[in-house]
Chain A
Amino acid sequence: MESEKQRTPDENGYFGDYGGRFVPETLIVALNELDDAWSKFRNDPSFQEELAAWLKDYCGRPTPLYRARKLAAALDIKEIYLKREDLAHTGAHKINNTMGQALLACRMGKKRLIAETGAGQHGVATATAAALFGLDCEVYMGEKDIERQAMNVFRMDLLGAKVIPVSSGSRTLKDATNEAIRDWVTNVGNTHYIIGSVVGPHPYPAMVRDFQRVIGIETRSQILEMSGVLPDVVFACVGGGSNAIGIFHPFLEDDLELVGVEAAGSGIMSGAHSAPLSVGRPGVLHGSLSYLLQTEDGQIKEAHSISAGLDYPGVGPEHSFLKDQGRAKYISVTDTEALTALRLLCRVEGIIPALESAHAIAGVIQEAEQLKDKTVVINLSGRGDKDVATLAKLESGEDEK
């Protein structure tokens, strides 16, 4: 059941004060077309049935909700459930969105897909959908991320996508997004831009959320089936915030706590972090108004996180809205805390989480004192195979000390 409140944003794409459409005029017509197409297909049974079939047979949905007894015991928390998005095809929740958008692109008659990627998970998920539906695919990726996520670059190549290195600015996700937008402005006629998170101009934040809501819808029915009651708290990591919105959204009207975990990088005080909701202020980047890391003069600051997927100075506008409303709480954990959490999950549960998802677990560790008698759900948004090179480097670095 969907209440009116859950159908935010308004017709101009605003969630309260946040969102909107701050893009060059050239793209407005394309955004209108996309908005029209999405409004039509989101209520079209044939589209929804086709998407549901792909998600089930091809992506492996529903993903399990797994009761992590060992982790709960290790942290002295009553119950912990992991939503296993790491078990979805391609290894992360990103596929939910790219399958939806690629299918939409086909219906709109677009032959070419472009995407930006940070950790490479969204790039791989876009390349996968493009291969499946026979579409051309080019993925923009910062040079720094290409170095630290080499395996995903190779996967995209195998899937037939072209990875375009981005050398401007911080050479990470922010700059890859700039370059993807420049491509879209230039090739808007035949190209659909698959944004990988709940960011960007309207209708992207709402549309990507709608594609990711499947996480929360499944979680809700799974936990009711397994334990008979709703959880007390839901945790998810927040970069752009798509896995978090995906799991939060179907619980918005319920009486439970929602906690988003940002990347504090080297520590909030160090200035080298990716925590706009924790310490940023509202501004405009990549087409929407939301909390941002920026200088006093309105220049966008470079973010930092050990996790390429969280290394972004902005955040989806709906998170800014949920923060101001007080409906969700946002905390942050450092690189070190995320690594500790990653190692813990490996050892006690035999699951190697993505560095991004490790932030959600670290958030639970940080709050463990208050969670003793609670039932906690953590969105395990992706698997950690892509991060083993980064981890190996860190291990060897530590050995040298």
Chain B
Amino acid sequence: MKRLEQKFRELKKEGAKALITFITAGDPDLDATCDLVETLVAAGADVVELGVPFSDPLADGPTIQAASGRALAQGVTLKKIIATVAKIRLRTDIPLVLMSYYNPLFSYGLEEFVADAATAGVDGVIVPDLPLEESYLLRSLADGKIAVVPLAAPTTPDARLAKIVASGSGFLYYVTVTGITGTRTSLPLELTSTLDRVRKIADKLPLAAGFGISTPEQARVIGKHSDAIIVGSALVEIIATHGAADSGRKKLFDFVGSLRQALDA
């Protein structure tokens, strides 16, 4: 959790924007996940999100659904992912955040999950189907151990947004579109002004914009109106197409590097 706060503090000091990268844990397998995280770090990612595969990922588009399916077919479980995080921790200090639907956490046991995740070196968790009203238990158990990253959407009214930010920790995951994850050729026209408005209300937490961001140009534009951008499906697509061996990792490295450059430009 400290790693996450520290990272955003450092970036703020440097006037730099955070690049948050998402991959599905266990796609194509958990050993590959360790290597892929290293590639992301080397290419300039500031935070890595690891998706916990779920049988019914209702906030995800086809790309991440398919990655989830591949990981589940490998027998990937939350327990194994936490063990993988412990291995990754031997290699890098990058902040690591798990993105999981609620049922795998609930089934694991929230208290056990928080304890095991924190011990392994997980810094935070994002739960896309756990809105403010349902998150109290997880937040209170996680307090001081791992961040519970809140989500806000274009449909969230200002007063609610303020409550969401006040309750959350780590950063604010702002969902840029009303929709599911996946690459988009265009983002809403009003997005940059929306982000400026959100930032005013959400000044307690770093503002990270995600969903639909898939090109360096989008990264550049949105980075100017937020503290961080989150890219997921575009990376998962590269891994799905090119694999996680040397050539696939090279493609991933180049693409993440191009996002980094655009964000720093």
Q: Which residues of A contact B (CB under 8 A)?
A: 12, 20-30, 168-169, 174-175, 178, 181-182, 185-189, 283-287, 289, 292, 294, 296-300
A25 touching B153 in the complex, CB below 8 Å, given contacts A169-B56, A284-B103, A297-B107: yes
Please, what's the 1-or-0 string for B233-263, where 1 marks a CB less than 8 Å from any CB in chain A?
0000000000000000000000000000000
Q: Give A178 to B60 CA distance when docked, in angstroms.
A: 10
A169 touching B55 in the complex, CB below 8 Å, given contacts A21-B133, A285-B103: yes
- B153/A26 in contact, CB under 8 A: yes
Question: In the assembled complex, which residues on chain A have CB atoms less than 8 Å from the CB atom of B78?
Answer: 297-298
- A22/B156 in contact, CB under 8 A: no
- A28/B131 in contact, CB under 8 A: yes
A186 CB contact (under 8 Å) in B56, B57, B178: B178
Q: Give A174 to B103 CA distance when docked, in angstroms.
A: 15
Instruction: State which residues 66-125 of B face A: CB under 8 Å.
Output: 72, 77-79, 101-108
- B79/A297 in contact, CB under 8 A: yes
A283 touching B178 in the complex, CB below 8 Å, given contacts A24-B151, A178-B58: no
- A20/B134 in contact, CB under 8 A: yes
Number of A-B contacts (CB under 8 A): 112
Q: Which residue of B lies closest to A298 (CB)?
A: B107
- B180/A23 in contact, CB under 8 A: no
A299 touching B133 in the complex, CB below 8 Å, given contacts A283-B106, A294-B103: no
- B103/A21 in contact, CB under 8 A: no
Nearest Cβ in chain B — how far from A34, in angstroms? 13
- B72/A299 in contact, CB under 8 A: yes
A28 CB contact (under 8 Å) in B59, B103, B155: B155
Answer yes or no: B130 CB below 8 A from chain A CBs: yes
- B151/A298 in contact, CB under 8 A: no
- B58/A181 in contact, CB under 8 A: yes
- A300/B103 in contact, CB under 8 A: yes
Question: In the assembled complex, which residues on chain B have CB atoms less than 8 Å from the CB atom of A298?
Answer: 54, 78, 103-108
Question: In the assembled complex, which residues on chain B have CB atoms less than 8 Å from the CB atom of A178?
Answer: 56-58
Q: Which residue of A lies closest to B101 (CB)?
A: A284
Question: In the assembled complex, which residues on chain A have CB atoms less than 8 Å from the CB atom of B56?
Answer: 169, 174-175, 178, 285-286, 300
The 10 closest A-B pairs by CB, nearest first: A298-B107, A26-B153, A298-B104, A186-B179, A299-B55, A297-B77, A300-B55, A298-B103, A25-B153, A284-B103
Question: In the assembled complex, which residues on chain B have CB atoms less than 8 Å from the CB atom of A28?
Answer: 131-132, 155-156, 160
Between A and B, 23 residue pairs with Cβ closer than 8 Å are A24-B129, A24-B131, A24-B175, A25-B131, A25-B132, A25-B152, A26-B178, A28-B155, A168-B65, A169-B56, A174-B56, A182-B58, A185-B58, A187-B178, A189-B178, A283-B103, A284-B102, A289-B106, A292-B103, A297-B77, A298-B105, A298-B106, A299-B72
Please, what's the 1-or-0 string for B147-187, where 1 marks a CB less than 8 Å from any CB in chain A?
00001111111001000100000000001001110000000
Question: In the assembled complex, which residues on chain A have CB atoms less than 8 Å from the CB atom of B103?
Answer: 283-285, 292, 294, 298-300
Nearest Cβ in chain A — how far from B203, in angstroms? 19
Answer yes or no: B216 CB below 8 A from chain A CBs: no
- B129/A22 in contact, CB under 8 A: yes
Answer yes or no: B44 CB below 8 A from chain A CBs: no
A182 CB contact (under 8 Å) in B77, B156, B175, B180: B180
- B151/A25 in contact, CB under 8 A: yes
Question: In the assembled complex, which residues on chain B have CB atoms less than 8 Å from the CB atom of A185?
Answer: 58-59, 178-180
- B104/A24 in contact, CB under 8 A: no
Instruction: State which residues 7-63 of B face A: CB under 8 Å.
Output: 54-59, 61
**Among the interface residues B101, B103, B134, which one has the most CB atoms of the partner chain A within 10 A?**
B103
Question: In the assembled complex, which residues on chain B have CB atoms less than 8 Å from the CB atom of A299?
Answer: 54-55, 72, 103-104
Q: Give A283 to B178 CA distance when docked, in angstroms.
A: 26
Q: Give A163 to B18 CA distance when docked, in angstroms.
A: 43
Q: Give A299 to B151 CA distance when docked, in angstroms.
A: 23
Question: In the assembled complex, which residues on chain B have CB atoms less than 8 Å from the CB atom of A182?
Answer: 58-59, 61, 180
Question: In the assembled complex, which residues on chain A have CB atoms less than 8 Å from the CB atom of B153?
Answer: 24-26
- A23/B129 in contact, CB under 8 A: yes
Question: In the assembled complex, which residues on chain B have CB atoms less than 8 Å from the CB atom of A21?
Answer: 131, 133-134
**Among the interface residues B55, B156, B160, which one has the most CB atoms of the partner chain A within 10 A?**
B55
Question: In the assembled complex, which residues on chain A have CB atoms less than 8 Å from the CB atom of B132?
Answer: 25, 28
- B107/A24 in contact, CB under 8 A: no
- B55/A25 in contact, CB under 8 A: no
Q: Which residue of A lies closest to B135 (CB)?
A: A22
- B59/A24 in contact, CB under 8 A: yes
- B130/A22 in contact, CB under 8 A: yes
Q: Give A285 to B107 CA distance when docked, in angstroms.
A: 12
Question: In the assembled complex, which residues on chain A have CB atoms less than 8 Å from the CB atom of B79?
Answer: 297
A186 touching B180 in the complex, CB below 8 Å, given contacts A23-B131, A174-B56, A299-B54: yes
Q: Give A20 to B134 CA distance when docked, in angstroms.
A: 7
**Among the interface residues A27, A29, A284, which one has the most CB atoms of the partner chain B within 10 A?**
A284
**Among the interface residues B56, B102, B108, which one has the most CB atoms of the partner chain A within 10 A?**
B56
Nearest Cβ in chain A — how far from B181, in angstroms? 10
- A26/B102 in contact, CB under 8 A: no
Nearest Cβ in chain B — how far from A349, in angstroms? 40
Question: In the assembled complex, which residues on chain B have CB atoms less than 8 Å from the CB atom of A169?
Answer: 55-56
- B107/A283 in contact, CB under 8 A: yes
- B175/A25 in contact, CB under 8 A: yes
Nearest Cβ in chain B — how far from A315, in angstroms? 15
Nearest Cβ in chain A — how far from B179, in angstroms? 4
A12 CB contact (under 8 Å) in B104, B129, B133: B133
